[in-house]
Amino acid sequence: MIDLRSHIPEIPDFPRPGILFRDLLPLLADPDVHAEVISRLVAFAAPLRPDVIIGAEARGFLFGPTLARELGCGFAPARKPGKLPSSAWRETYALEYGENVLELAHGALQPGMRVMIHDDLLATGGTAAASVALARQADAEPIGACFVAELRGLDGRARLDGLPVHALVHYEGA
Give one word for 30, left, alpha or beta, with left for phi > 0 and alpha for psi -120 to 50.
Answer: beta
Q: Does the annotation count 150 as an active-site position?
A: no
Which residues have C-beta within 8 Å of that of residue 31, sequence separation ≥ 6? none
Q: Does the annotation count 157 as an active-site position?
A: no
Given 22, 57, 59, 152, the catalytic residue: 59
Given 96, 114, 141, 152, the catalytic residue: 96
Q: Which of 147, 144, 136, 146 is nearest to 164 (CA)?
A: 144
Which residues have C-beta within 8 Å of that of residue 73, sequence separation ≥ 6? 50, 51, 52, 53, 116
So which residues are the catalytic ones? Answer: 59, 96
